[in-house]
Amino acid sequence: MAKRRRSSRQDDNRVGKICIGIILIVFVAVMTVQINKVYQKDLEKIAQEEELKELLQYERDRQEELKEYQEYIESQEYVEDQAQSKLGLLYDNQIIFREKED
């Protein structure tokens, strides 16, 4: 009878160890999947961040170009260019040479 109790306890102990082992394996598998998902999201966010940095730099460059264009528009040179090209106005001492059309 003592052997039966000991054998029963050993079987219960083995079953408990097997259950704990299975639970640990499942836990590790689930954690691995979750860590992989988080890693993939992190890579996507890093790529998105790089893309946004490039876009920001592009917009800053564009803003600088627009500032330069605005300064040009507000200058006397722009007014003279527009008057000459669109209205055909010239200074009194300017001469325009045109080629003869055959």
3-state secondary structure 3-23: HHHHHHHHHHHHHHHHHHHHH
* Within a domain: 56: yes
| Ranges of the chain with pLDDT below 50 | 1-2
Contact predicate 89/83, CB 8 Å: yes
In a domain, 99, yes or no: no
Per the CB < 8 A criterion, the answer to whether 84 and 90 are in contact is yes
Q: How much is the pTM?
A: 0.54
Strand locations in 1-102, DSSP E? none
Q: Is residue 73 part of a domain?
A: yes
Number of domains in the chain: 1
Expressed as residue numbers, the domain containing 72 is 2-87
Within-domain flag for 101: no
Q: How many CB atoms lie within 10 A of CB 83?
A: 13
